[in-house]
Amino acid sequence: TLPALAEAPADEVLAHWSGLGYYARARNLHACAKLVVEQHDGKLPEDIDALIALPGIARSTAGAILSLSLDQPHPILDGNVKRVLARHQAIEGWPGQSQVLKRLWALSEQLTPMQATASYNQAMMDLGATLCTRSRPDCARCPVADDCQALASGDPTRFPGSKPKKPSPVRQTVMLALSRHDGAGLLLERRPPSGIWGGLWSLPEIPTLAALDDWLEAAGLEAIDSPDSAARLRHTFSHFHLDIDVQALDVRVRDAVVLETDERVWYNSGPFPGGVAAPVSKILNSLVGELL
Ligand code: SF4
């Protein structure tokens, strides 16, 4: 229920989401449940502007919620509907471009009926999901084939246009596999709430090895040996590649007051303290046997 989700600790929510990617969705869902409980007595608002004001709910999602649950006459424009409209009207261009998106919204507004909106929106989503699919549209069975301009053009899959190709940039990072010399475990840190893997647990990260001494000093730790390369891997996000260089070293605690915060734990084995991104979980599973 919404109140149960609102009350759950962020770690528990992110732990359930671990491995699914798109962690902002879990954070938004959680933040949304909290706001609904605080500001709307635990009930989703029935006004579109109030819904759009909630985290993670944009115009199309709000329109879908209100039209499907209450039959309110709001247009929607999810990926399936964009594809159906772009094909039916042969709209050129990639829907990620604002001009194309604007045209598609205008079309969706114009076509969405004031009555039976729930059935219309559901039908549009189903049409995109089942017949007008991305690479193999089943035009022979399509109920709007008669006046579909993309079909008439002879190449329906040319619509909508694809995202202009740009090579993904490569970013570098160093993850620290810090083993406490007395065998207490590997140091894990909770990542900042926003940004990649926000709020998830991870190995501490520094931009380059040159930053190691300052980082250890600030964390109240002291190196016992020199860093040693333990693993290298590439993780690909939707818009960039991340090259991860895992450096292992033994440390001792110099200043427990600095080190011990709610955002850091020594991990030995067993369940993680909260959500952990899939590549970090892979690194941890391979390191725990090796380093501890
Ligand atoms: S006729 Fe083909 S391309 Fe046109 S809307 Fe139907 S399935 Fe899509």
- CATH number of the domain that residue 140 is part of: 1.10.1670.10
| Domain-terminating residue out of 107, 130, 158 | 158
221 lines ligand 1 (CB under 6 A): no
175 alpha carbon to ligand 1 midpoint, in Å? 48
Please report which residue ranges of the chain form alpha helices under DSSP H. 2-7, 10-17, 23-40, 48-52, 59-70, 79-88, 98-111, 117-126, 149-153, 212-219, 256-259, 278-291
Query: Is residue 248 a part of any domain in this protein?
Result: yes
Contact 60, 77 (CB under 8 A): yes
88 alpha carbon to ligand 1 midpoint, in Å? 6
My answer on whether 259 and 145 are in the same domain is: no
77 alpha carbon to ligand 1 midpoint, in Å? 17
Query: Is residue 165 a part of any domain in this protein?
Result: no
Residue 168 tokens read as 């993904």
Taking residue 79's Cβ as centre, other Cβ atoms within 10 Å add up to: 13
Q: What is the pLDDT of residues 96-105, one digit of tens each?
A: 999 999 999 9
Query: Is residue 164 a part of any domain in this protein?
Result: no
My answer on whether 72 and 94 are in the same domain is: yes
Pocket test for ligand 1, best of 144, 146, 153 (most atoms within 8 A of CB): 144
84 lines ligand 1 (CB under 6 A): yes
My answer on whether 130 and 231 are in the same domain is: no
My answer on whether 146 and 14 are in the same domain is: yes
What is the span of the domain harbouring residue 83?
A: 2-158
| Domain-terminating residue out of 125, 158, 191 | 158
Distance CA 253, CA 179 (A): 11
129 lines ligand 1 (CB under 6 A): no
Number of folded domains that form the chain: 2
Query: 16-49: b or e for each residue (b if 16 or more CB lie within 10 Å)?
Result: ebbeeeebbebbebbbbbbebbeebeeebbeebe
Residue 33 phi/psi, 5° resolution?
A: -60, -40
**Residue in the structure block whose two tokens are 């770690």:** 11
Digit-by-digit pLDDT tens for the chain (292 residues) are 999 999 999 999 999 998 888 899 999 999 999 999 999 999 999 999 999 999 999 999 999 999 999 999 999 999 999 999 999 999 999 999 999 999 999 999 999 999 999 999 999 999 999 999 999 999 999 999 999 999 999 999 999 999 988 889 999 999 999 999 998 899 999 999 888 899 999 999 999 999 999 999 999 999 999 999 999 999 999 889 999 999 999 999 988 766 667 899 999 888 899 999 999 998 988 887 665 5
Nearest CA to ligand 1 atom 4: 148
| Domain-terminating residue out of 124, 158, 192 | 158
- Cβ neighbors of 99 (< 8 A, separation 6 or more) are 93
Pocket test for ligand 1, best of 81, 82, 89, 132 (most atoms within 8 A of CB): 132
My answer on whether 181 and 243 are in the same domain is: yes
Amino acid letter, 195: G
137 alpha carbon to ligand 1 midpoint, in Å? 6
132 lines ligand 1 (CB under 6 A): yes
pLDDT at 208: 95
Query: Is residue 163 a part of any domain in this protein?
Result: no
Q: What is the pLDDT of residues 14-53, one digit of tens each?
A: 999 988 888 999 999 999 999 999 999 999 999 999 999 9
242 alpha carbon to ligand 1 midpoint, in Å? 38
67 alpha carbon to ligand 1 midpoint, in Å? 24
My answer on whether 153 and 252 are in the same domain is: no
Nearest CA to ligand 1 atom 2: 139
150 alpha carbon to ligand 1 midpoint, in Å? 7
Query: Is residue 276 a part of any domain in this protein?
Result: yes
My answer on whether 154 and 12 are in the same domain is: yes
pLDDT at 287: 82
> Ligand 1: which atom is nearest the Cα of residue 157?
3
My answer on whether 37 and 116 are in the same domain is: yes
Contact 84, 75 (CB under 8 A): no
pLDDT at 5: 97
Distance CA 238, CA 61 (A): 21
